[in-house]
């Protein structure tokens, strides 16, 4: 079968510009996918909030920056609250361009977890695809995804089964996992380093439990990530003896992996239904075993006893006991798992298959199409 390159429009999250860290894992997913789809021969246009920068290796992408007020993040909103669009919002402006460009492209792939693009899906001719990046953090989003996926299931993909199970879908969800440019991660076999924790520093990430484990082991905890909620960070720091937490800040992938690779374990403590758990794969890519709550995506990524340990959610004592036996894990097994299941090429192929299949599905012409 001859290869026909696809013309794909990617639309980033409206909560922050690419490179700022405010988009959390979505930023890494987007950069991996850009490299993967380019290497498969497709052409990419990227729509993102102004100020966005793309990492090295994405030079061939046509990056279109869009001005406007950033979307308020769902995490810190009421579960049953409304979908908001701020005055002069970047979200509608992103989608104005996405529809214009999408009219002469094969597909538009959305990475934002927002109401507007999903609501548009059955109402426009452009083929909109949504990689859902969070669990069911908002009722209005859960119900919209359930309703649109009922008629347009092939336009949705999720990172893990556990994440997808939040959405009460009528059809089998498509799971695409995630992918990482493994050339950026160096295997480090040092098993006698410090404890590490990586993530947006916010309540749903459960940093306090990892800090409690470090305290119980009279050890320090190196913490990398954007301090999104400074009051929360201060509360966590005050909950443990001074010096327990070493704040390392938000790093580029190259710098993060260099420091993270030295850790004897990554502790992962999600308090919400973590959609995937990028930091887990990043740690394993450096050979670092992961000790995590068996909650959300991490529960699907870690093979307990082989690439790390899974413990009962919120059981800090069990977390501590597993950290104490992390040297039973073969660090090479962690790297091998990532190469087999979460490389950039594996992920890009999953996404290409998703789009190609979705383009074959013909929906009965919907009279309410917006022309
Ligand atoms: N909130 N409104 C909104 N839109 C997003 O795209 C969004 C968000 N909160 C967090 C977020 N995206 C990402 O950090 C996570 O999906 C990873």
Give the relative orientation of helices 344-360 and 25-39 as an angle to the nearest 10 degrees: 80
For the cut 60, the answer to whether the pLDDT of residue 365 exceeds it is no
| pLDDT of the residue at 128 | 98
> Which of 198, 185, 195 shows the shortest CA–CA distance to 215?
195
Mean per-residue pLDDT, 11-40: 92
Token pair for 278: 């990028």
* Per-residue model confidence as pLDDT tens digits over 277-336: 999 999 999 999 999 999 999 999 999 999 999 999 999 999 999 999 999 999 999 999
Homologous superfamily of domain range 182-341:
Glycogen Phosphorylase B; (3.40.50.2000)
Which residue from 77, 82, 113, 163 has its CB within 8 A of the most atoms of ligand 1, so it is best to mutate? 113
* Per-residue model confidence as pLDDT tens digits over 160-172: 999 999 999 999 9
Q: Check pocket membership of 25 for ligand 1, CB cut-off 6 A.
A: yes
Which residue from 26, 140, 228, 274 has its CB within 8 A of the most atoms of ligand 1, so it is best to mutate? 26
For the cut 80, the answer to whether the pLDDT of residue 85 exceeds it is yes
Give the relative orientation of helices 207-216 and 316-324 as an angle to the nearest 10 degrees: 60
Burial class (CB in 10 A: 0-12, 13-18, 19+), 218: exposed
| pLDDT of the residue at 20 | 85
Mean pLDDT of the chain: 95
What are the residue ranges of CATH 3.40.50.2000 in the chain? 7-179+343-370, 182-341
Cα 158 from Cα 141, distance rounded (Å) = 14
Which residue from 24, 69, 279 has its CB within 8 A of the most atoms of ligand 1, so it is best to mutate? 24
Cα 21 from Cα 161, distance rounded (Å) = 25
Q: What is the CATH number of domain 7-179+343-370?
A: 3.40.50.2000
Compute the distance from residue 187 Cα to the ligand 1 centre, in Å. Answer: 30
Handedness of CA 287, 292, 298, 300 (dihedral sign): positive
Cα dist from 90 to 17, 40, 112, whole Å:
11, 30, 12
* Per-residue model confidence as pLDDT tens digits over 168-216: 999 999 999 999 999 999 999 999 999 999 999 999 999 999 999 999 9
Protein residue closest via CA to atom 16 of ligand 1? 133
Handedness of CA 75, 113, 111, 168 (dihedral sign): positive
User: Within 10 A of 104 (CB to CB), how many other CB atoms are there?
Assistant: 9
Q: Check pocket membership of 71 for ligand 1, CB cut-off 6 A.
A: yes
> Which of 149, 127, 38 shows the shortest CA–CA distance to 360?
127
SS3 304: strand
Cα 98 from Cα 93, distance rounded (Å) = 9
For the cut 90, the answer to whether the pLDDT of residue 3 exceeds it is no
* Per-residue model confidence as pLDDT tens digits over 94-135: 999 999 999 999 999 999 999 999 999 999 999 999 999 999
Compute the distance from residue 226 Cα to the ligand 1 centre, in Å. Answer: 14
Mean per-residue pLDDT, 153-157: 98
Protein residue closest via CA to atom 2 of ligand 1? 73
Q: Which residues contact 341 (CB under 8 A, 6 or more apart)?
A: 177
Q: Which residues contact 38 (CB under 8 A, 6 or more apart)?
A: 44, 58, 60, 61
In percent, how much of the chain has pLDDT > 90?
Answer: 90
In percent, how much of the chain has pLDDT > 70?
Answer: 98
| pLDDT of the residue at 367 | 52
How does DSSP assign 205-256, residue by residue? G-HHHHHHHHHHTT--EEEES--S-HHHHHHHHHTS-TTSEEEEE---HHHH
* Per-residue model confidence as pLDDT tens digits over 227-242: 999 999 999 999 999 9
> Which of 71, 41, 256, 299 shows the shortest CA–CA distance to 163?
299
The pTM assigned to this predicted structure is 0.91
Contact 337, 315 (CB under 8 A): no
């Amino acid at each position: 079968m001859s290869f026909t390159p696809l013309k794909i429009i990617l639309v980033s999250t409206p909560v922050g510009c690419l490179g700022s860290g405010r988009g959390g894992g979505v930023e890494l997913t987007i950069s991996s996918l850009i490299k993967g789809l380019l290497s498969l021969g497709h052409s990419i246009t990227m729509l993102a909030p102004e100020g966005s920068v793309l990492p090295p290796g994405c030079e061939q992408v046509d990056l279109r920056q869009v001005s406007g007020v950033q979307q308020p993040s769902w995490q810190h909103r009421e579960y049953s609250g409304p979908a908001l669009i701020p005055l002069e919002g970047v979200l509608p402006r992103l989608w104005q361009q996405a529809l214009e460009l999408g009219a002469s492209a094969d597909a538009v792939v959305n990475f934002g977890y927002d109401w507007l693009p999903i609501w548009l899906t059955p109402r426009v001719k452009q083929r909109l695809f949504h990689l859902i990046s969070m669990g069911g953090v908002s009722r209005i989003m859960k119900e919209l995804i359930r309703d649109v996926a009922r008629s347009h299931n092939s336009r949705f993909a999720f990172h893990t089964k556990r994440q997808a199970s939040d959405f009460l879908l009528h059809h089998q969800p498509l799971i695409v996992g995630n992918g990482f440019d493994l050339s950026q991660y160096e295997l480090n076999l040092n098993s006698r380093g410090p404890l590490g924790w990586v993530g947006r520093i916010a309540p749903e990430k459960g940093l306090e439990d990892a800090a409690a484990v470090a305290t119980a082991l009279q050890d320090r905890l190196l913490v990398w990530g954007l301090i999104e909620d400074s009051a929360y960070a201060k509360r966590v720091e005050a909950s443990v003896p001074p010096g327990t937490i070493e704040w390392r800040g938000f790093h580029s992938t190259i710098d993060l992996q260099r420091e993270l690779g030295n850790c004897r374990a990554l502790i992962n403590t999600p308090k919400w239904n973590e959609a995937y758990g990028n930091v887990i794969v990043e740690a394993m890519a450096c050979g670092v075993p992961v000790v995590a709550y068996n909650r959300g995506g991490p529960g699907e990524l870690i093979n307990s006893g082989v690439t790390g340990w899974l413990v009962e959610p919120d059981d800090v004592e069990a977390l501590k006991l597993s950290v104490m036996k992390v040297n039973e894990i073969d660090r090479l097994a962690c790297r091998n798992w990532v190469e087999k299941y979460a490389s950039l090429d594996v992920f890009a192929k999953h996404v290409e298959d998703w789009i190609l299949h979705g383009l074959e599905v013909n929906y009965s012409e919907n009279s309410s199409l917006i022309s």
